[in-house]
Copies of this chain bind each other. A is one copy, B any other.
Amino acid sequence: MLGVLGGMGPMATVDFMAKVVRNTPAACDQDHIPMVVCSASDIPDRNAALRGEGADPLPAMRDALRRLEAAGATCIAIPCNTAHMWHCALQYATPVLILHIVDAVTFELTARKGDCIGVLGTTSTIEGRLYQERLSYKGLSCRAPDAAGQEEVMRAIRLVKAGQLAEATEILQAQAEALVAAGCSQVVMACTEIPVALASVEGTLRTKLVDATEALARACVRACKTDAASEIAFAA
């Protein structure tokens, strides 16, 4: 039973679940993966906490883990990149394997050693080097928008959480194009709100975008359909 520690944000969790369903080969209900999802929307703001300006979200995330364990989860996914700043602390709190979103992305990257990968994510994700660290193990470097661009990305993420998609799409598309122009061979949408806003993007840019939510969904399908969760989680 796949467990989902969700609610960060609630619509990103719905997007993730839809991607799990769409990535599962199925002709009827019973072919799909059983899931238990905790949409714990009351978890305190992760970015504020990392800036030292808000309540610690770890107790509420641990509470959600407890609920997933009680409901019988045997493998857990967290459709929120920023929350992965607490991945070690959360894995320490449960014997149930928690798949890592960056490993899921790394598994799907087609870039070659020496390539530069663009990362569109929250400021905490970028400053915390969530992607940089694990991608460097594969010989890949990372590039994020400059300071002004990064502020725009954060504004776009907040717009998605408030349901205002059109303006968010415009901002994020421009930032993704700037990263490609700066030489990035692929651009990771490394915040689960971003693919919601960039769903309509087509053309060359689309072929360079890597959807972290979709990558995590596919990792879950592989883990649950093969029971080889540990192998996949540590594949990177």
Contact = CB atoms under 8 A, between A and B. Distances in A.
Interface stretch (A23-31, A89-97, A172-180, A227-235): A23-31
A56 to B, nearest CB: 14
Contacts of A166: none
B21 A44 contact: no
Interface string A5-28: 001111101100110011010111
A200 to B, nearest CB: 16
A21 B16 CA distance: 14
A14 B36 CA distance: 12
A207 B216 CA distance: 39
A21 B21 CA distance: 19
Given A45-B30, A161-B29, A71 B38 contact: yes
Interface in A84-123: none
A23 B11 CA distance: 12
A196 to B, nearest CB: 11
Contacts of A28: 9, 45, 158, 161-162
Contacts of A21: 10-11, 14
Interface of A: 7-11, 13-14, 17-18, 21-22, 24, 26-45, 67-68, 70-72, 158, 161-163
For the complex of A and B, 10 pairs with smallest distance between CB atoms? A32-B41, A70-B70, A67-B71, A37-B37, A35-B39, A71-B71, A10-B32, A9-B29, A14-B18, A10-B21
